[in-house]
Structure 1
Amino acid sequence: MNHQSVDVNTAQSFVPKVSVVIPIYNGEADLPDLLSCLLSQTYPKEQVEYLLVDNNSSDRTLSILQTTAENSPITIRPLSENNIQSSYAARNTGIKAATGEIIAFTDADCRPQPQWLNTLIQPFINPEVVIVAGEILALPGTSLLEKFADKQETLSQKHTLAHKFCPYGQTANLAIRQHIFTKSGLFRPYLTTGGDADICWRILKANLGKLEFADDAIVQHRHRVTIKELSSQWRRYGRSNRYLHELHGIELTREIKTKEYIYILLRWLLKEVPKISIQNIIGQASFADLFNTPLGLFTSRERSLGQKKAQLPENAKVIEWF
C-alpha cells in the first residue's frame, strides 16, 4: 500500500489544483498554530485553496477566519455550516464549494508539516489512485497519558489501513479525487463518528479506484492529556464500531469479561510491575511503562461501553449528494 517512488521531474510538474477542507468548531485557540502550518506549506500557493468551515462555533472562530482571509498571502475561504452540528456536514459544505481536482482533509487541532501537501498529492500521479492517506504522528508530549498513547501509536493510520474489513484513512490526513464524490456521494452529514471509514469503504467497495498510503505526508496531532479526554476518545471509537456495524456489517469489538480483567490485573501486579520496576532502575524502561497494562484495560473498557450504549440515529444513514 506504500506509494511507489516517481520520477523527480514528473513529480515537480504534477501540481493539480488542491482544495484543503478543514471543519472547525470552537477552534479559536488552535487557529494561530493551524494557520501558521498552512502558511508554511511548500505546495505552490497559486494551486491550493484552504476552505475553513466554521461549524456553528460559539467563540470567535468565524470572525478570526474572515479577518485572516482578507490579509493572507494564501487563499483562505471562510465558510459556515450552521444547520447540522457534525464535522462531516461541515466537510460536505467545503467539498461543495471546492474548485480543486483533489480534496485534502485535516482538522483544526492538527499540525500539517511543511511538505504535507506536496507528499500527500504525489501518489495521485497514478490515475488509478483515488484516495491517499498520510501519516498521523503525535505532537511531543510529557504527561503519562501522552506517553502511553504515543507508545500505542493510537493515532497512526497503520491501524486503520490494516482494518480487517477494509482499509481506510482518517480525515485528519486524507485526500480524495473530487470527481469520485459524484459517484460515491458525500459524507453522511448526520453521522458524528466513523464517517472517514464509511466514505473510504463506499469508494473502495464500489471499485472506484485504489487507496495509497503516503507515509511521509505527516500531520501531527495532540494526544489526550486527561482521563476524561481519554475516556471520551475511546467511547467515541466504540460508538464508531457500533455505527459501522449497522452501516457495513463489520464485527463488533469483543467485550473483555470481568474474569479476564481480574486475571490481567493480577498478572500485571505480580509479574509486570516487579519486572518493569527493575528495568526502570537500570534504565531500560520508563516510569510510564508501568501503566501500559491498566491504561490498556481502561481504554478497552471505555470502547466497550461506547459500543454498548451507541445507537445509530436513523438520519445518520442518509448520504448527501451534489
Structure 2
Amino acid sequence: MSSVHGSATERPFVSVIVPAYNDEEGIRRTLESVTAQTYPNECYEVLAIDNNSTDDTKAVIRGFCEQYPQTVELLVEEQKQGPPAARNKGLEHASGSIIAFIDADMTVDETWLESLADTMQRNEWDYMGCNVEITLEDGRETLTGKYNQIFGFPMKKYIENAQFAGTGCLVVRRTVFDEVGVFDSRLEFSGDREFGDRVYRAGFDQHFQPDITMYHPARASLRDMLAKSFRNGRAQTYLTEYDPDRFGRRSIAHPRNYLPLHPSYFYKKVNRETGIATHEMVLIYLIAYLSKLCVAAGRIYERVTDRGR
C-alpha cells in the first residue's frame, strides 16, 4: 500500500472503504469501478473488507489486490459481524484525510474521487452525502424495480430531516472520526443514522452534493424488496430501544403505521416519472403499501423478540 499521502498539487489522500459479504459479483463491479478513477493512483487507496464470506468474495478481492497492489488491500473479519464493525476495521487501516464509503454492488463514474475530493476541499466540508441513482438492469425492469427507482434513497431528505447520509454514499473527514468516534459496532442496524446523529450533535455541518452521483442496482424482486422493508422496520425499533432519548418514534400501535400512503402524495411522487401507465401506477401503489406493512411487521418483530436488550 502506498505511503504517499497526496501529491505535488496538494491533492488530499482518500481512503475508499468497501465492506462485502457473500457478494462476489457485486464486489467485482464495485472494484472495477473504483480502480478506474481519474484521480491519481498515488492519492488514494481501496480497503475492501470481507465480512467472513462463505462464497468467492475473498478470491475476487485478492484478484484485484494482485492487479492493483499499490491501491487495493484485502482486510478480513474472521467472524461475521454487522456492517458497522466491518467499516470500523477499514477505518483502523485507513491512511486518508478523507474517507469515502461505498457498498459492494454500487458503481461510480471515473471522476467520482476527483469530484468528491475537490468538493470537500473547496467547500471545507466535513461530512457529505452523495446522490444515489437507482438503475434498472437489462432484463430486470420489473414493477418492483420501478418502485425502488422512484422511492429509492432520498439522501437529501435524510440529511436535512434526520441528520445522516447512508454509508453507501458517505464522505467524511478523518478529523470527524477523531472527535466523535467511529461507528457503533454494537448496532446490528442503522449504524449510519446513529453516527450521523453524533456528528450533528457535535456541531459539524452536514451537506448533500447532488452533482456527485453513485449508482445502485434496483431490487427487482418483490421478495427482496419486502425483506428490505422488514429489516428497515426492525432497524427503526432497534435504534429507538438503543437510545430512546435520541431516536424516539411514535408507538407501534399508532394507526398511521398501517394506513396506505396518501394517494395525492403518492401520485405526485410517481407522476414525476415518465412512461408509467395507469395500471402500473396502481400496482406500484400496492407494492408501496405492502412495503409499509412490512416495515410495521419488522417493528413488531423487533419489539416482541427484544433479544434481551
Q: TM-score, length-normalised on structure 1?
A: 0.80
| Letter matched to residue 129 of structure 1 | W
Bigger shift: 92-101 or 72-81?
72-81
Partner of 1:158: 156
Which stretches in structure 1 are left out of the alignment for 5+ residues? 1-11, 269-274, 316-322
SS in 1 for 2:233: helix
In the alignment of these two chains, the number of paired residues is 286
Question: Displacement of 1:255 after TM fit?
Answer: 5.9
Q: Which has the larger radius of gyration?
A: 1
Q: Residues 113 and 286 of structure 1: is their aligned pair in 2 closer, same or farther, counting only changes over 3 Å?
A: farther
Does the C-alpha gap of structure 1 residues 51 and 161 become closer, same or farther in structure 2, counting only changes over 3 Å?
A: same
Match of 2:300 among 275, 284, 308: 308
Unaligned runs of 5+ in 2: 1-7
| 2:188 is the counterpart of 1:192 | yes
| Alignment partner, residue 33 of structure 1 | 29
2:142 alignment counterpart: 143
What is the root-mean-square deviation of aligned Cα atoms in Å? 2.9
> Using the alignment, how far apart are the partners of 1:304 and 1:192 within structure 2?
18
Post-superposition shift, 1:44? Answer: 1.7
1:95, distance to aligned residue in structure 2 (A): 0.2
1:145-187 per-residue CA deviation (whole Å, 9 max, x = no partner) reads 01112122x2231331232xx3210011001111221221111
Partner of 1:297: 289
Q: Secondary structure at the match of 1:129?
A: coil
Q: Cα 1:36–1:287, aligned 2, differ >3 Å: closer, same or farther?
A: farther
Q: Which residue of 2 aligns with 1:220?
A: 215
Residue 37 and residue 128 in structure 1: after superposition, are their counterparts in 2 closer, same or farther (change >3 A)?
Answer: closer
Task: Report percent identity of matched pairs.
Answer: 26
Q: CA deviation at 1:131?
A: 0.6
Seen in structure 2, the aligned counterparts of structure 1 residues 122 and 231 have a Cα distance that, compared at 3 Å, is same
Q: TM-score, normalised to structure 2's length?
A: 0.83
CA distance in 2, matches of 1:298, 1:243: 21
Q: What do residues 228-260 of structure 1 show as CA deviations (whole Å, max 9, x unaligned)?
A: 211111112112211232322332476674997
User: Could you tell me how far apart the structure 2 residues matched to 1:284 and 1:303 are?
Assistant: 25
- For residues 187 and 257 of structure 2, what CA distance do their matches in structure 1 show? 35
Distance in 2, matches of 1:253 and 1:139, equals 35
Alpha-carbon separation, structure 2, partners of 1:30 and 1:213: 25
SS at match of 1:310: helix
Q: Secondary structure at the match of 1:104?
A: strand
Q: 1:168 to 1:47 in 2, by over 3 A?
A: same
Counterpart of 2:68 (choices 58, 68, 72) is: 72
Offset at residue 117 of structure 1 (A): 1.8
Q: Is 1:241 matched up with 2:225?
A: no
What corresponds to 1:5 in structure 2?
none
